[in-house]
Amino acid sequence: MNEGTANGIHWSFWLIAAVGLIFNLLGCMNYMSQMNEEMVASMPDVYRAIVESRPAWGTVAFAIAVFGGALGCLLLLLRKSVAVYVFVASFVGAVVAQVPFLGMADFPLEAWLGWLSQLAVGAFLIWYSKWSLGRGWVS
C-alpha cells in the first residue's frame, strides 16, 4: 500500500468529497434561508428583489442545484458512480436557476461570484467524480 492511500484510495479523495459536501450544504442553508419569509424580509433590498422576483421554476432549479450537489457528494463519499449523474443534474440546475437574472442590470457582484463559484465547483465535481471512476475509486 502506498503512503497516503487506504484500500487504494488516496486521502485527497475523502478530503475533496467532504469539502464539496460542506460547500453544497452551505448552499442548502442558503436555499432554506431564502424560503423563510422573515429572513428574506431582513435582506438588503437588492437581494430581497432577487429572491422575490425569481420564478417558481428558478426556485426548483436552485433546489436541484444545491440539494443535488450535496447528494452527489454523499454518493461520492459512499463511492457510488451515480454521483456523476447527480452532479450533472446539479450543474444544470445551477445554470437554469440563474437564467432569470442574466439581463438584470443591478445584479450584485457578490451574487455573480457566488454563482460562478457554484459553477466552478460543480464542473470540478463532475470532472473529479468521472476521474475517480476511471481510477476505480468509485463503482
* Tens-place pLDDT, residues 53-78: 889 999 999 999 999 999 999 999 99
Q: Looking at residues 119-137, what average pLDDT do you find?
A: 96
Residues ≥6 apart with Cβ < 8 Å to 32 = none
- The span from the CA of 113 to the CA of 110, in Å, is 5
Confidence class of residue 112 from pLDDT cuts 50, 70 and 90?
Answer: confident
* Tens-place pLDDT, residues 40-52: 999 988 888 888 8
pLDDT greater than 50 at residue 104:
yes
Stated pTM of the model: 0.89
